[in-house]
Chains A and B, each alone.
Chain A
Amino acid sequence: MRGTTKRTYSYWFYAPAGVVYGIFFILPTVISFYFAFTRWDLFESHWIGLDNFRQFFSEQSLRSSLRNTLVYAVTTSGLKVVLGMMLAVLLTSSIRLKAILRALTFFPVLVSTVAVGITFSVLLQPDFGIINTVLAKVGITGPDWLGNPTTALLSVAAVDVWKGVGLATVIYIAGILSIPRDYYEAVEMDGGGGWTQFRNVTLPLARPATFTVILLSFIGGLRSFDLIWTMTGGGPGFASDTIASVIYKQYQAGFYGLSTAGNVVLFVLVSIIIFPLSRYFNSREVDL
């Protein structure tokens, strides 16, 4: 049997994927820990110790990108959890038009981020954009969503939620559908209404789905770049810069060592948040 295993499930099956993954993902990740400590023009590198990191943490605009990254990730994943859960409950209830509504919420997931970013930049325009035009009709002067430092980051986050909530909803729908009906019937038997069913059955038993949504959207939020870049370019000023957009700007300016140091900072940030989080979630799932 062991011989058959070796032959049938040969480790050679790992080889082609391993080569691609090793060369184009693992190797760059590993060497980034060297180049992050250098001044580097892609041809020559000079070891400069911690200078890049010192630069990163001394510059106010780079520091604020750290905070923005966290704010963005927390806001988007939080909203995706809440809205995704609500939509999923609605779309698994007995209402008609379920198919249409599910399709509508999922479609933005498939549209390119750049297209979404450009479209919403126009819709959010303060003078003639539809959102402020409608607000003006009810007597509210809407802010300059993307042009005002206090609202820019959150406006982009809102669009991110618009684009990504469909995926969260689908994951929740699957989670809710896998809950045995008996649980609901038991609550109904005890005279519990919709809210009790939600609190005592859906919420706890959809926990694996919640973990998946949180992990996926948190990872996505921490790494987010394309939507921010097309909508604000990190601006106005540096108000909506995230680590990923800083990495790009340093790269554009030719500061390859500094850009790579930004990569390492992002790497560390993602790792210290996500790995413990996923371990915690895994342990909770076992408890259930």
Chain B
Amino acid sequence: MKLKRYRFAVAALAGSALFGLTACGGGSSAGTGAGSASSAGSAASKTEITLLVDNGEGSVKAANAEIAAFQKANPDITVKLSTRPGGGDGDNLVKTKLSTGVMEDVFWYNSGSLLQALAPEKSLVDLTGDAAIKDVDPSFLPAVTQGGKVYGAPWGTAFGGGILYNKDVYSKLGLTVPKSWAEFEANSEKIKAAGIDPVIQTYKDTWTSQLLVLGDFYNVSKANPNWATDYTANKVKYATDAAALRGFEKLAEVKAKGWVNRSSGSMTFDQGMKYLAAGKGAQYPMLTTVISNLPPADAAKIGFFGLPGDDAASSGATLWTPGGQYIPKTSKHIDAAKKFVAFVASPAGAEAFTSAVPPTGPYLIKGATLPVDALPVAKDMQAYIDAGNISPALEFLSPVKGPALEQICVAVGSGQTSAKDGAAQYDADVTKQAKQLGLAGW
């Protein structure tokens, strides 16, 4: 009994020690916002601002690197980091903090449709034309703009959504990156003939099923540049728009042609990445950002191309914009907060980010470059941006997104539902969402 209690104490101690470590880096966690606003003013010469980020490993690492670099450049300002949970809990926490006026001076949060849900015109500082966003690439701004006003600056990198492919398999079979869906089909047949699974799908983690649909948005917007606006206004639908339906059709086709790995139904995302790196599967519809989960040697083997459309002449990629940094109107140190935001969204800030987290996509910051030894996926994505062949993903352009897309995609991708029916089900899902939330015009 004594021994048991001793061991328990050791485990508890180890737990608290580690807690101490992360808390040290992360600042004392969430609840500090309320106190900091009043206590910060007391240090006369030195301004202290607070920063709230999600508790993901990458975010915390990046935030610490940015803070260290920023404090070096601005010795009169200190930044205190707090963390919050990710996912739905994090969303609620951010909303609560904003509405009760206890939000940190700067917080990092999604750009795009999730930002729209924060009612930025009421709660966030307007940064339109502000010096804080002078280095920001204009392609980022739509994701943080509402009613013509800009509310945020980017942190970290953008990433692509399309196909991750195993470069070794491609070079061994003498394949080139496909520019059209027909080329993709030809490649896949050759890969299959070589005894390798052409397409990896990992439906056990349902979110991974959506990439063939969401990543196809570049091609949709190429066919109709106003698609996102029309979609929000309930004028176009997935099932009835030929270009939009293509994504669902591609999802059904990879299954029907027997290109998908046999155990797709119960493979997890993590297993899928290993499967790709090991060359057992050649192409994985995915986001480039996930590459950081692989060991560097494996990550160097993986390249990226945008989901091919029907026309080889207009090939491009769908872009997920970086997360945003925002300043609440309730902040007592708006000037210091702006300085910090400007720093993170500057070439120096990008450099600090690179030092902490290997970039998996380009920075949307003017003058910020990827390091020479950047991962292939980041360079591949940068090439699309340099050529101007990109479109932001739909979720950055329209607040309308149904909750069941993941499951519908799995149903289509595993052959239970036809592409047409799946698209119609998703349209109904979106309508349901809009109605349940009482959106206008639906």
Name B's interface SS: helix
Q: Please report which residues of chain A, range 97-147, place their CB below 8 angstroms from some CB of chain B when the two chains form the complex.
A: 121, 124-127, 144-147
| CB–CB A126/B266 < 8 A | yes
| CB–CB B411/A147 < 8 A | no
Q: Please report which residues of chain B, range 188-232, place their CB below 8 angstroms from some CB of chain A when the two chains form the complex.
A: 203-204, 206
Q: Does A61 contact B (CB under 8 A)?
A: yes
* A237 and B262 alpha carbons, distance in the complex (Å): 16
* A191 and B435 alpha carbons, distance in the complex (Å): 73
| CB–CB A237/B436 < 8 A | no
- Given A144-B262, A144-B266, the answer on whether A234 and B407 have CB atoms closer than 8 Å is yes
Nearest B residue to A145 via CB reads: B266
| CB–CB A59/B265 < 8 A | no
Q: Does B7 contact A (CB under 8 A)?
A: no
Q: Please report which residues of chain B, range 257-313, place their CB below 8 angstroms from some CB of chain A when the two chains form the complex.
A: 262-267
Please tell me which one of the listed residues B263, B425, B428 contacts residue A147 in the complex, with CB atoms under 8 A apart.
B263
| CB–CB A236/B425 < 8 A | no
**Tally of A interface residues using CB under 8 Å:** 32
* Chain B proximity mask over A216-236: 1 for CB below 8 Å, otherwise 0: 000000000000000001111
User: Whole-angstrom distance from the CB of B29 to the nearest CB of chain A?
Assistant: 25
Query: How large, as a class, is the contact surface on chain B?
Result: 20 to 34
* Chain B proximity mask over A183-201: 1 for CB below 8 Å, otherwise 0: 0000000000000000000
* A255 and B433 alpha carbons, distance in the complex (Å): 8
Q: How many A-B residue contacts, CB cutoff 8 Å?
A: 87
Q: Does A60 contact B (CB under 8 A)?
A: yes
User: Whole-angstrom distance from the CB of A252 to the nearest CB of chain B?
Assistant: 7
| CB–CB A61/B266 < 8 A | no
Please tell me which one of the listed residues B411, B425, B437 contacts residue A254 in the complex, with CB atoms under 8 A apart.
B437
Residues of A within 8 A of B265 (CB): 126, 144, 146-149, 152, 236
Residues of A within 8 A of B144 (CB): none
| CB–CB B263/A126 < 8 A | yes
User: Whole-angstrom distance from the CB of B440 to the nearest CB of chain A?
Assistant: 14
Q: Which B residues have a C-beta under 8 Å from some C-beta of A?
A: 88, 203-204, 206, 262-267, 403-404, 407-408, 410-412, 414, 416-417, 425, 428, 432-433, 435-438
- What 3 A-B pairs have minimum CB-CB distances, sorted nearest first? A147-B265, A237-B411, A147-B266
Q: Which A residues have a C-beta under 8 Å from some C-beta of B?
A: 39, 46, 55, 59-61, 121, 124-127, 144-149, 152, 233-239, 249, 252-255, 257-258
